[in-house]
Amino acid sequence: MLGFWWRGILGSISQKDVNKVVRESVNSGINYFDTAEVYNEGRSESSLGLAIAGIPRDSILLGTKVSPSNCYKETLIEHCEASLKRLQTDYLDLYMVHWPLHPHAIRHFTNDLRIVENPPEISETMEALQVLNQQGKIRKFGVSNFGRNRLKDLPLKDIAVNQLPYNLLCRAIEYDSLSFCEDNGIGVIGYMGLLQGILADNYPSLNDVPLLQRRTRHFNSKNNIECRHGEEGIENETNIALNGIRHICKETGFSMAAISLKWILANPAVTCVLVGSRNAYKVKENVMAIQTPLCKEIKDELDRISLPVMEKLGNHFDYYESAEYDRTL
């Protein structure tokens, strides 16, 4: 299943274009739309709210995320109601805690040291989500970027989904988080499916990738002032994997984006993969990509090609931080 991921951060895009993308998505059978209160300081939710106006509400699923800094009970309820207002809807199909509730994750969302040093208790957050559910303001709730150890602290029967980064070059959730979710009936919404254009083959080389997209642990932090992970990166392994994927694309006639999306959806533990599309043509292209599944031989070859990257990065799926400061653990 494809879902539409709307952040609105990659350059300018008009509301008219957003409307076209959303309507083409609905017409193509995509029914899940994902955003977050932090994206563009709420403007992403507002834009999506305008785009879905006139579309029957029961024909689409809306999901958004609350920042970990806003997860005290009363604050969370207020922020949920603000998201509802921006999205112009009476209820959310899915409401997620964006990152785990610990100081290092929270400091990325607020400068208020009182919150950073005294993060909300997860029990308080779950209580607020239950209240919103009982009020009919959210139908299901879940989490995002929660590793296996963080999930263990939650009432698992109440958690509908865990939104996690997953693609051919980001496979860390395969170590234990993906199977843990599957074993406990938690759906997985994969994000970063095309690794911000890298797995759409938008860039001739890694040096051509814009600095903001070059912040992950695949890249050497010494070459990018935007990086904060402090590691040497794995650019050699990443290049080898990309060239291997290009070879398969040439043999099969599929684009790299199509191959990448097919590969993700070939994993039965993945419920939905989110894809951002800047225009209606890209929506059609992405939908066409998943019409035919990968054969087992190609899936196995892609697994083999990307395995060295997975092993080098390890069981650590916060791709912007070092293992020491991993926000997901």
At residue 14, the pLDDT reads 87
**Residue spans per domain, the chain:** 2-205+234-325
pLDDT tens-digit series, residues 13-24: 789 999 999 999
pTM for this entry: 0.95
Write down the CATH number for the domain with range 2-205+234-325.
3.20.20.100
List, in sequence order, the alpha helices (H) in 135-200: 148-151, 177-183
Six token digits for residue 329: 């653990």
Quick one: average pLDDT of 69-91?
98
pLDDT surpasses 50 at 10: no
Quick one: average pLDDT of 240-260?
97
pLDDT tens-digit series, residues 145-189: 999 999 998 999 999 999 999 999 999 999 999 999 999 999 999
CB-CB contact of 164 with 175 (8 Å): no
Out of 3-7, 193-197, 239-243, 286-290, which region has the weakest mean confidence (pLDDT)? 3-7
pLDDT surpasses 70 at 39: yes
Catalytic residues: 39
CB-CB contact of 158 with 106 (8 Å): no
pLDDT tens-digit series, residues 138-156: 999 999 999 999 999 899 9
At residue 276, the pLDDT reads 86
Instruction: Say which amino acid occupies 300.
Output: D
Quick one: average pLDDT of 274-297?
90
pLDDT tens-digit series, residues 98-118: 999 999 999 999 999 999 999
pLDDT surpasses 80 at 234: yes
Terminal C-alpha separation, the chain: 28
At residue 13, the pLDDT reads 78
Report the sign of the C-alpha dihedral through residues 8, 11, 17, 20, in that order. negative
* Confidence at 3, pLDDT banded by 50, 70, 90: low
Average pLDDT, the chain: 95
Per the rule left: phi > 0, alpha: psi between -120 and 50, beta: everything else, 136 is left
* Confidence at 6, pLDDT banded by 50, 70, 90: low
Is beta strand 2-5 parallel, antiparallel or unpaired with respect to 61-66? unpaired
Number of Cβ within 10 Å of residue 280's Cβ equals 18
At residue 9, the pLDDT reads 43
| Three-state DSSP string of 250-300 | HHHCCCHHHHHHHHHHCCCCCCEEEECCCCHHHHHHHHHHCCCCCCHHHHH
Secondary structure element (H or E) that encloses residue 296, with its range? helix 296-313
pLDDT surpasses 60 at 89: yes
